[in-house]
Amino acid sequence: MSAIGVFDSGVGGLTVAREIIRQLPDENIVYFGDTARVPYGIKSPQTVIRFSIENILFLLKHDVKLICVACNTASSLALPVIRNNFRVPIIGVITPGAKEAVYASQNKRIGVIGTKGTIKSRTYEREIKQLDPKVKVTAAACPLFVPFVEEGWLSGEVVLSVARKYLKPLRQAGVDTVILGCTHYPLLKPVIQEVLGKGVILIDSAKQVAFEIKKILASEDLLNRGKGGRHKFYVSDNPEWFSSLAQRFMGKKLMNVRKVDNV
C-alpha cells in the first residue's frame, strides 16, 4: 500500500489530512498523531527535531511515497534541518502558506500567527521575505488558541477578548492578509475574522498543501489510480481522545485509531 504519510503533534493535522483526502480521494493515507508528546508549540527546537525524525522513521515503516509535515511547529523548526536527510519527498505547511499569502496581499503587510515555537523560529518571515523582500511581516504567538480549540471553545466572550489581545499588533500594523500558522486556528476563523475585520484575508494553508502534494506526485508519476484510498490513523497515546476530537477537525468520527507503543 503505497501511501501519503502525514504527521502532526496530535489531532490538529487532521485539518490538513481532510483536505488531502478531498483533493486526492484515491490516495492511501497513513496519519500519525504524536498525542503522547503534544504540544510541540512550547518545546525547544532540538526536541521538536528529534520527535519529527522519529515520526518520519515511523511513517517510513508504512511504505510511504511522500511525507507531509502537517504541524506548523515541526515544519518551522525541524523541516529546514532534516529535509535533505531522507530520500522520500517531505513537504511542510510553511512554504505553501507563505506563497498564498504573498499572492493574496495587496498592501504587502502580512500577519502570521502560530505557536510560540513557530513564531520564535521566524521561518514564515524568512519564507515570505524570500518570495518578496518588500513585504512587512508582523507575527504574534497565540498560545491559548490550541487549548481553546481542543476544549471546543470556538466562540464566546472569553475567546473573543483573548483574540483581541493577541491580534492587536496585527491590527495596528494594518495587515491585509493573515496566515493561520497553526493546525488548530482554522477552527477559530470566525472569531479571528471578527476581530481583524471582514476585509482581511485569512490564509489556511491546507488547500495549498494538498495542491502541492498533488503536483509533486503527478510530476513523479506517483499518483494512485485505484478506486478510493484507504486511511489509517495511528497515535502514540489516547486513541479515544483522538477519535472524539476527530469529529471537530475532520468533520467525521474516526474508527479504528490504533495506538503504537514505540515511535
Considering only the stretches 37-45, 210-218, 221-229, 240-248, report the one whose residues sit in contact with ligand DGL under the rule CB under 6 A.
37-45
Written as one letter, the residue type at 3 is: A
- Binding-site size, ligand DGL (CB under 6 A): 18
* Binder of ligand DGL out of 115, 138, 205, 238 (CB under 6 A): 115
Residue 41 found at the interface with ligand DGL (CB under 6 A)? yes
Is the peptide bond prior to 190 cis by the omega test (within 30 degrees of 0)? Answer: no
Q: Which region, left, alpha or beta, applies to residue 231 given φ > 0 means left and ψ of -120 to 50 means alpha?
A: beta
> Buried b vs exposed e over 74-91: b needs ≥16 C-beta within 10 Å?
bbbbbbbebeeeeeebbb
Element containing residue 259 per DSSP (H, E): strand 258-259
Query: Smallest distance from the beta carbon of 70 to ligand DGL, in angstroms?
Result: 7
- Please indicate whether residue 182 is annotated as part of the active site: yes
* Binder of ligand DGL out of 72, 121, 224, 238 (CB under 6 A): 72
Query: Smallest distance from the beta carbon of 40 to ligand DGL, in angstroms?
Result: 4
4 in Cβ contact with 24 (< 8 Å) = yes
In this structure, how many other beta carbons lie within 10 angstroms of the beta carbon of residue 151? 8
Residue 40 found at the interface with ligand DGL (CB under 6 A)? yes
Residue 38 found at the interface with ligand DGL (CB under 6 A)? yes
114 in Cβ contact with 40 (< 8 Å) = no
Which entry of 24, 69, 71, 139 is annotated as an active-site residue? 71
- Please indicate whether residue 68 is annotated as part of the active site: no
Taking the CA of residue 111 as centre, how many other CA atoms within 13 Å lie in the half-sphere pointing to its CB?
26
Which entry of 6, 182, 187, 213 is annotated as an active-site residue? 182
Q: Which of residues 233-262 bind ligand DGL (CB under 6 A)?
A: none
What is the grid cell recorded at 174? 494594518
Q: Is 256 helix (H, G, I), strand (E, B) or coil?
A: coil
* Binder of ligand DGL out of 3, 5, 9, 202 (CB under 6 A): 9
- Decide the pairing of beta strands 231-235 and 28-33: parallel
Residue 39 found at the interface with ligand DGL (CB under 6 A)? yes
Considering only the stretches 23-31, 38-46, 167-175, 234-242, report the one whose residues sit in contact with ligand DGL under the rule CB under 6 A.
38-46
Query: Smallest distance from the beta carbon of 119 to ligand DGL, in angstroms?
Result: 10
CA gap 1, 63 in Å, rounded: 7
CA angle, 151 as apex, 145 and 153 as ends, to 5°? 65
Considering only the stretches 54-62, 111-119, 127-135, 243-251, report the one whose residues sit in contact with ligand DGL under the rule CB under 6 A.
111-119
Residue 146 found at the interface with ligand DGL (CB under 6 A)? yes
Kindly list the residues in this chain that would bind ligand DGL in the complex (CB under 6 A). 8-10, 12, 38-41, 71-73, 114-115, 118, 146, 182-184
| Catalytic sites, residue numbers | 71, 182
